[in-house]
Amino acid sequence: MGREAQGLCTIGPHTEAVRAWLESTAVLLRGPTLKRHIALSALTDLRVEAQALRFTADGESVALEFGADEAHKWLKKIMTPAPSLAAKLGVSAQQRAYVVGHADEPVLAEALAGATTRRADEAAVLVAIALDEADLAQAITLHAGMPCRAMWVVHVKGKAAVLGDTAIRSCLRERGYMDNKTSAVSDRFTATRYAKR
């Protein structure tokens, strides 16, 4: 979700200055003595009162004093449902993807259900599952003959990756691609969209 703010945080009787981050699944709070990770799913009784975003989490009352404008922005972000993975990838029954590679990832399979084509020349986007250099090379070769400009490269993230984000980015930039969007896919996979310059 990508919001960050500084202000006073009151949890129960304790108040201190904190830096707060609103992420897609949690609110992170960091202060001199306060360190909290509060899941968005645990928030109840959300509201803005005066200068503070107020809610209850795990039985504790929490007030984040960011000023009324920022508190309203946080409330709106928290209350707005996150877009689906299919929406993030820009695929649908009308905007079909051609998929190359295989990942045994239920979240990705669900996002692509009903939104793929077997004809590369009809695809609005290429979704390439790149688990290694050979997968990436195959995707680049295939994309060169496709009419669509965009290619999503789905890959394993973190230390478990055989082919990491930096290597993918370097390889594609050398071939005239620029990365312009990223999206988490799951705990294991991430995706980056590339387009020819």
pLDDT for res 82: 79
Residue showing tokens 């003595």:
33
Rounded Cα–Cα distance for residues 84 and 73 (Å): 21
Residue 123: other Cβ atoms inside 10 A: 23
Rounded Cα–Cα distance for residues 46 and 40 (Å): 11
Which pair of tokens denotes residue 148? 């669509």
Report DSSP state, residue 29.
E
Rounded Cα–Cα distance for residues 116 and 120 (Å): 10
Alpha helices, DSSP H only, in 145-188?
Answer: 165-174
Give me the tens of pLDDT residue by residue for the chain, a chain 197 residues long.
568 999 999 998 999 999 999 988 889 999 999 999 999 989 999 999 989 999 999 899 999 999 999 999 999 999 987 789 999 999 999 999 999 998 788 999 999 999 999 999 999 999 999 999 999 999 999 999 999 999 999 999 988 889 989 999 999 999 999 999 999 898 899 999 999 88
The candidate with the shortest Cα–Cα distance to 78, out of 141, 27, 115, is 27
pLDDT for res 1: 52
Alpha helices, DSSP H only, in the chain?
Answer: 68-79, 85-89, 106-112, 133-144, 165-174
Which pair of tokens denotes residue 32? 């001199």
Report DSSP state, residue 124.
S
The candidate with the shortest Cα–Cα distance to 27, out of 42, 8, 45, is 42
pLDDT for res 46: 96
Does pTM top 0.95 for this prediction?
no
The candidate with the shortest Cα–Cα distance to 3, out of 47, 64, 92, is 64
pLDDT for res 24: 80
Rounded Cα–Cα distance for residues 116 and 152 (Å): 13
